[in-house]
Amino acid sequence: MIEVSFQCKYGKIAGLCWGKGNKKKILALHGWLDNAASFAQLAPFLAEKGYEVIAIDFAGHGHSDHRSDGHFTHFIDFVLDIQDVLNELKWIKPILLGHSMGAAMAQMYSASFPEKIEKLIMIENIGPVPAYKKGTAASNLKEALLQWENHTTEHKHFYLNIKTALKARSKATPIQPENLYPMVERGLKKTIKGYHWRTDKRLRLRSPFRFSEKVIQDMLSSIKPKTLLILAKPYTYALSYKSVEKRIKKLNPDNYIEINGHHHLHMDNASEIYSAVEKFLNS
């Protein structure tokens, strides 16, 4: 595993690479508030089988730069990060592998340029967060505006050491500690006051804009590369919305697999996920 970085239009995108120089290429995209190290369990399996895997830290995550001061962190902007990184890599028809938010972003990029992507692997997501409920658009925008007006990027909570930060993250994300550690360590910054999360605090603000469900399903049904969809069984909190089954039908993946586990099953169930991915990539 080595560190890599890319100069995008907004700033630096950092990342990790496994299997550098291997012929087959995979760009791995993490979930909301995670970072590139969320692939620390799965990527070595793929590297051993001849894949070069580069996992990036999306803007405001891990070691990547934050968006400029005064700018909102719209999730759709992460697709711009994907485009900038792929343009710099100059790979010919790579594979996109995304987890959670990263899966949604990978699908949106693949639908925009299906001719540029060899295959698409989506883990634990089927498109962006659902739109607001009908009749709540104005009240939700008001809440977003108030949050923006009152937000601060100043860090007020610090951890004594990585161990205490790991314990805190474990409460929110039930992952085996040894698997969670690399992602937690990468997500922390040490200061004289202790450790704080590197993550851009603006990522937690309510979005003033979301795609409608019609737009999301239109995107899912667009022409795309050969696609593998992997979901945890039973459905996790990430898929706790009514349109899940409709979205699966619209996506119409070439392969669809359900695996017992939780939302971060690519970390705790890495070998099982790898087996499904390898079978799909070799088909």
Query: From the candidates 64, 100, 207, 222, which is the catalytic residue?
Result: 100
Q: Quote the CA–CA distance of 15 and 40 in Å, as a whole number.
A: 12
Residue 9 has what pLDDT?
Answer: 87
Residue 174 has what pLDDT?
Answer: 85
Residue 32 has what pLDDT?
Answer: 94
Residue 151 has what pLDDT?
Answer: 86
Q: Contact 19/46 with Cβ under 8 angstroms?
A: yes
> In this model, does residue 131 exceed pLDDT 80?
no
Q: Quote the CA–CA distance of 20 and 3 in Å, as a whole number.
A: 11
Question: What residue spans define the domains of the chain?
Answer: 2-131+209-281
Q: Is 240 a catalytic residue?
A: no
Q: For 237-276, write each residue's pLDDT tens digit.
A: 999 888 999 999 999 999 999 999 999 999 999 999 999 9
Min mean pLDDT across 74-78, 232-236, 270-274 is at 74-78
> In this model, does residue 132 exceed pLDDT 80?
no
Q: For 159-181, write each residue's pLDDT tens digit.
A: 999 999 999 898 888 899 999 99
Q: Contact 147/139 with Cβ under 8 angstroms?
A: no
Mean pLDDT of 9-25: 95
Cα 90–Cα 96–Cα 102 angle in degrees, nearest 5: 115
Where is 112: in which H helix or E strand?
A: helix 101-112
Which CATH code for domain 2-131+209-281? 3.40.50.1820
Residue 93 has what pLDDT?
Answer: 96
Residue 17 has what pLDDT?
Answer: 98
